[in-house]
Amino acid sequence: MDSWYHSPDEVEHWRGKLLAFVHETYRAVMRGEMLYALSNLDRIRWLIVSGWYMEMEEHIDGPYGVWSKIEGKRSKLDEKQLSL
């Protein structure tokens, strides 16, 4: 299994995306745009998981926002992470 090093710039980019989606989700809720807020919430969940993968020095196999290989038998997440 190859480890993947994430540069400080990559981590900063990830953090910025996460915070931007949190902020935009809040704004969507305040505007009463619940479907948009739920869509953003799914992106927040995916970014949190990608952060866990960074901590494990792993790379998510697949494009941004795609959940295949993240859940189920192919997942590299532990039981607690999967339950969250």
What does the pLDDT look like over 8-64, one tens digit per residue? 898 999 999 999 999 999 999 999 999 999 999 999 999 999 999 999 988 887 788
Q: Are 47 and 18 in contact (CB under 8 A)?
A: yes
pTM beyond 0.85, yes or no: no
Q: Which amino acid is at 56?
A: M
- Give me the torsion for CA of 25, 31, 35, 40, rounded to 10°: -10
Handedness of CA 44, 68, 66, 6 (dihedral sign): positive
Spatial distance between the Cα atoms of 29 and 23, rounded to a whole number of angstroms: 10
Q: For residues 81 and 59, what is the distance between their CA atoms, to the nearest angstrom?
A: 16
